[in-house]
Amino acid sequence: MKKPGEVFEDSRVYDPGIEAIVPRYDELHDAILNAPPQQRDDEIHVLELGAGTGELTAKLLTRFPESTVLAVDHSERMLAEAKRKLETFGDRVQIEQRTFPDDHPDGHEEFDLVISSLAVHHLSSDEKQTLFGAIHEALVPGGWFVNGDVIRFDADHLETLSDAMIKNWVRSKGWEEEEFMNQWQASDDYDDPDTLTDQLVWLRDAEFDSVASLWQYYNFAVYGGRKPE
């Protein structure tokens, strides 16, 4: 049985598959990694929630060569691929099969940065708010939380527009649309996206400041905030 985020039975297909279903996937990752205030040679301790196959993890460890990452995901299959991909980074990355917000952040470590990509939308509204509060507690003063994720529009016609855009994107990548969308929609039972506006308010409620939307393309957005110093 698939878990949230396990869009494909074979996790090795996830990376090319996600690039075919998430428009401007690399741009979304770049927006996440461009957001932190740290310089590239700074020593930063990072928590990544929903690390999946480790694609964003690898990009972060490369961009910030003095960084260390605790990469958390609940999928054994996805983490097996992540371990293979991240082996070259040695002890700079620690991989744990855990869930959030239940297991992480756990209050035992402090982080300079918490990131997530295409994972938080699996949580309910209440769970997102609980997670934002826990992330705030886990950050050092001045630390940032940055999330790239699926969002929901209140307007039905914008939801329809976003669905059409994704189908066109899938075709542009050379995938058989019907077969691909049938596989992708098998994961929709786990999806519970909220509006960007609501999530920015929840970050404020969790006592983040400098809350901002950093990047958006239809129903994909990067947003975050800072724990006050």
Q: Set out the domains of the chain in order of their start, with CATH numbers.
A: 11-226 (3.40.50.150)
Of residues 36 and 186, more confidence is placed in 36
The model's pTM is: 0.91
Mean pLDDT, the chain, as a whole number? 90
Torsion of CA 131, 133, 134, 135, to 10 degrees: 80
Q: Which band of pLDDT confidence, cut at 50, 70 and 90, is reported for residue 20?
A: confident
Q: Give pLDDT, residue 45.
A: 98
Query: Average pLDDT, stretch 183-189?
Result: 56
Q: Give pLDDT, residue 191.
A: 87
Mark out the alpha helices in the chain (DSSP H runs): 14-21, 25-34, 55-63, 76-86, 125-138, 156-172, 177-185, 196-205
Q: Is 40 helix (H, G, I), strand (E, B) or coil?
A: coil
Q: Which residues on adjacent β-strands are paired with residue 148?
A: 117, 222
HSE toward the beta carbon, residue 89, CA cutoff 13 A = 26
Question: Residue 40 corresponds to which tokens in the numbers above?
Answer: 């590239």
